[in-house]
Amino acid sequence: MTINGREYEFDKPMTVLDTARKVGIYIPTLCYHPRITQNGSCRMCLVEIEGQRLLQTACTTYIRDGMKLWTHSERVKAAVRHNLELLRMIHPDDCQTCEVNGRCELQDLLQRFGVERTIDYYGNAVDILDESSPAIRRDLEKCVKCFRCVKACEEIQDLSVYAMIKRGHYEYPATAFDAPVYNTVCVGCGQCSFVCPVGAITEKPDWRKVLELLEDGDKVVIVQTAPATRVAIAEEFGAEPGTISTGKMVAALRRLGFDYVFDTNFGADLTIVEEGNEFVERVNKGGPFPMFTSCCPAWVNYAEKVFPWVTKHLSSARSPHMMLGAIAKTYFADKIGKKPEDIVVVSIMPCTAKKDEILRDQLIIDGWQPVDYVLTTRELGKLIRLKGIPFMSLPEEDYDHPLGVSTGAAAIFGVTGGVMEAALRTAYEVITGETLPKVEFDEVRGLDGVRDATIKIGDKEVKIAVVHGLKNTEMLLKKMERGEVFYHFVEVMACPGGCIGGGGQPKSLDPDVIRKRAEAIYEIDEMMELRKSHENPAIKQLYKEFLKKPLGELSEKLLHTHYRDRSKEYLNLWKYYEKERVS
């Protein structure tokens, strides 16, 4: 086939868009996103194909033998430019203060094609500002009606929080009856904010508060970073997905003014010890099974809202950053002679749901919140940029002790299957008392939606499953309800690929971004000297000095939680219909 007059040969069917990108030809897109199916609606990826009366969309057209096409003929450019003019017609000009300034696909397109405001600004037909959710913020005045959020919520999570309501110029992605998104079935996963090409859906921004805290506050500010952040943050500075930049990230956090830089991986190791022991206890007691992991807050929200029976099966272990927060404000505070109230903990997370998680009543200990703020990986990138820190040329620095010490088992928390694998590494050795012959559990690795296996631990056969994406989860849970499958232990991650594909991660149109980040995660694991959570010396010391034993009294207070049936809480959305919105 011929693209722009040059001959190419391909042997497998691909879309024109994928083909062009493969050979390095730029085709603009706006509604296309590799995480969802094509919508074919923005009409940006237009190409001219010989023999076709009208322009065709590259994202939906498949290459054919002998096809001749042009990606930027005058005809194509005129159409793309005009369609951009039309989007500019409804899009406000407040880029400077927009959350996604510099990270906006519309902005890039307008710049690329030099589209001035040739058509009067008529405003968007919708101006809803929905700040109800601690996880995400919807500023629909900026919406370009690309359908990505609608499709992401439907196709990845099968929640369909949004639907494109009304028609024509007046349409917009609404929640049912325009209820505040926090009151809907929304679990806060933030996939909508990840795919949104503009600033219409973002994480609920908390970076400004943290900035003020760092510049003006008199408290001890502790920061911790989730496993998945270190393989993604560099993308914010132009690096390839999967670039490991743990040391630079630590250095950047110090330069931002954080007093202590800890690693959520420490919390992950702690989680495994607690959760692993909880599982061992259930194995010894004979149930209840299955046990579900509980470190993904979007999944916990989902279980409480949609499958309340699951709440009785969730591990009672708090998520890693909550554990670290609790330890930092007790054990570590004591070491530096502070009280919990003197300390502020900020978590850097690949996740928007974590912003919601920290506010859960059940997680408050003696009146204080273990974690005070959650920033997404994207927000951290923004802070570093705004402070003029030259991220890519920073030296590699280490986490502070002792809550910065971790193992490979903690590192893989960031990828689907990782929590399971980490738990198995510990459970195996706790149950059998023997050393694992092979650390890697290949059965739970990979990116298939649902993976299951039977693992032999001593004389016991443990049936496990790993699932990511709530649509896959829903299918699996329904199979369980019908009695078609049985598992002892199930890991659930709401986002595709696990936390590496989290809703708070750097936005990416790279179709392989999840695979690349996953590979980096496993690389970190391999580089670690210690690869089993229970071998973490800082953890051992923590138990010795402070917690005494897993599932002990103090553990229960600081490291465990309980869940509620919230299946009735997202009903009666109709009451919000045409109510004045209070933001």
Partner 1 sequence: MKIKVAADPKSVLEGSLEIANYFGYLSGVHHVQVDVERDANLGSCVGGILVDVGGEKYRVKDKKEAARLFVQGVILRKKVEDLVVKKVLPPEEARITQEVPIVKRNFGKYRDIDGYISLGGYEALKKALKMKPEKVVEEVKNSGLRGRGGAGFPTGLKWESALKEKSSEKFVVCNADEGEPGTFKDRVIIEEDPHALIEGMIISAYAVGASKGYIYIRGEYSDVAENLKKAISEAYDKGFLGEDILGSGFDFELVLRFGGGSYIAGEETALLESIEGRAARSRFKPPYPTQKGLFGKPTVVNNVETLVKVPWIILNGAEQYKKYGTESSPGTKLFSICGKANKRVVVELPLGVTLREIVYAYGEGVYGEGELAMVQTGGKAGTFVSKEKIDVKLDFDAVKEGVSLGSGAIVLIDDKSTFLDIALNVIEFFEHESCGKCTPCREGMFLMKKIVSKMVEEGKIDYDALQEIERIVLIMKDSSLCGLGQSVHNPMISLIRMLERGEVA
Partner 2 sequence: MVEEKVRSALEKAREKVLEEKDYVMEVVRYLHEEFDGYAPPEALELAAHLLEVPPSRLYEIATFYSLYTLKKEAKHVISVCASLPCHVAGGREIIETLRKELGIDFGQVTPDGMFKLEEVGCLGRCDTSPNMMIDGTLYRNLTPEKVVAILEAYRKGVIE
Write out the residues near partner 2 by the rule CB under 8 A: 159-167, 174-178, 184-185, 571-574, 577-578
Q: What does 573 bind: partner 2, partner 1, none (CB cut-off 5 to 8 Å by kind)?
A: partner 2
82 SS3 class: helix
Q: Which residues contact 552 (CB under 8 A, 6 or more apart)?
A: none
Rounded Cα distance between 488 and 281, Å, is 12
Q: Supply the minimum distance, in Å, between the C-beta of residue 306 and partner 2.
A: 11
119 binds partner 1 (CB under 8 A): yes
Q: What does 161 bind: partner 1, partner 2, none (CB cut-off 5 to 8 Å by kind)?
A: partner 2
Name which of residues 128 to 167 contact partner 1 (CB under 8 A).
145, 147, 163-167
Q: Supply the minimum distance, in Å, between the C-beta of residue 199 and partner 2.
A: 22
Q: Supply the minimum distance, in Å, between the C-beta of residue 579 and partner 2.
A: 11
Q: What does 183 bind: partner 2, partner 1, none (CB cut-off 5 to 8 Å by kind)?
A: none
54 binds partner 1 (CB under 8 A): yes
Give the residue with the Cβ less far from partner 2, 128 or 261: 128
Q: Residue 238, Cβ neighbours under 10 Å: how many?
A: 9
171 binds partner 1 (CB under 8 A): yes
Angle between helices 377-386 and 207-216 (to 10 degrees): 50
First to last CA, the chain: 54
Q: Provide the pairing of β-strand 68-70 with 2-3.
A: parallel
Total residues found in the chain within this entry: 583
- Report yes or no: 144 and 106 within 8 Å, Cβ to Cβ: yes
Binding mask 67-96 for partner 1 (x = CB under 8 A): --------x--xx--xx--xx-xx------
Give the residue with the Cβ less far from partner 2, 184 or 330: 184
Rounded Cα distance between 435 and 433, Å, is 7
117 binds partner 1 (CB under 8 A): no
170 binds partner 1 (CB under 8 A): yes
Q: Supply the minimum distance, in Å, between the C-beta of residue 166 and partner 2.
A: 5
433 binds partner 1 (CB under 8 A): no
121 binds partner 1 (CB under 8 A): no
DSSP assignment string, 554-565: HHHHHHB-----
Binding mask 372-411 for partner 1 (x = CB under 8 A): ----------------------------------------
Give the residue with the Cβ less far from partner 2, 164 or 475: 164
Q: Supply the minimum distance, in Å, between the C-beta of residue 120 and partner 1.
A: 8
Residue 316 in tokens: 């009672």
Q: What does 83 bind: partner 1, partner 2, none (CB cut-off 5 to 8 Å by kind)?
A: partner 1
- Report yes or no: 230 and 500 within 8 Å, Cβ to Cβ: no
Conformation bin of residue 483: beta by default, left when phi > 0, alpha when psi is -120 to 50: left
Residue 36 in tokens: 């969802």
Among 121, 54, 42, CA closest to 83: 42
Q: What does 176 bind: partner 1, partner 2, none (CB cut-off 5 to 8 Å by kind)?
A: partner 2
Among 24, 51, 66, 168, binds partner 1 (CB under 8 A): 168
Give the residue with the Cβ less far from partner 1, 29 or 406: 29
Q: Provide the pairing of β-strand 460-468 with 136-139.
A: unpaired
Q: What does 4 bind: partner 2, partner 1, none (CB cut-off 5 to 8 Å by kind)?
A: none
Print burial letters for 106-144: b (CB count within 10 Å at least 16), e (below 16).
bbebbeebebeeeeeeeebbbebebbbbbbbbbbbbbbb
- Report yes or no: 46 and 111 within 8 Å, Cβ to Cβ: no
Instruction: Give the type of residue at 292.
Output: F
Give the residue with the Cβ less far from partner 1, 54 or 582: 54
Instruction: Give the type of residue at 308.
Output: P
Q: Supply the minimum distance, in Å, between the C-beta of residue 53 and partner 1.
A: 9
- Report yes or no: 428 and 435 within 8 Å, Cβ to Cβ: no
Which spans of this chain sit near partner 1 (rule: CB under 8 A)?
A: 38-44, 46, 54-55, 57, 60, 75, 78-79, 82-83, 86-87, 89-90, 119-120, 122, 145, 147, 163-171
